[in-house]
Amino acid sequence: MLSEKSSTIPWVERQQWSKYWLVDPLDGTKEFIKRNGEFTANIALIEDHKAVMGVVYAPVLRRFYFADDSGAYRQDQGSESVQLSVATHGDDRPWNVVASRSHMSDETKTFIEKLGEYKLVSMGSSLKLCLVAEGAADVYPRFALTSEWDTAAAQCVPSIIPQKF
């Protein structure tokens, strides 16, 4: 198992691992402290250096996002799970962009401005990737560094969704 607290295990050792759990029990620490509800717990199963199963739980929203080889889903408390589908973007509407509330860089701003017409939602934690997975956002640009425990579970969710081109 790997988490932020065990990040002192050298990469040379970790890259030899063929299967392990990657856990971030509190993604979005700043949002948790601000009490804005935009924090998550993230768990991913990593096999051969790829997230093959991921769970993202947003406790304030009472919402699960999860994915494995059967697909990607969202489930709100008291509701049935719904299979996710990413958005397709055409020229008939602005880009729906989700970006970090706490890590908005100049590079990210430049990228967004080059899209043309856009609507921007700023938020914290891995919820941004989950919005892409459910089709509520078209793109989540991130140019700053991230850690694998911050992104693996949420990366698994949109990567499982069949892409239609």
Contact between 60 and 45 (Cβ < 8 Å): no
Strand order in the sheet with 40-47: 2-3, 19-27, 40-47, 50-58, 63-68, 71-76, 82-83
What is the block-wise mean pLDDT of the chain (165 residues), using blocks of 10 residues?
83 91 91 92 92 94 92 95 88 91 88 94 91 92 82 70 39
What's the pLDDT score for residue 149? 79
What's the pLDDT score for residue 89? 81
Enter the pTM of the model. Answer: 0.87
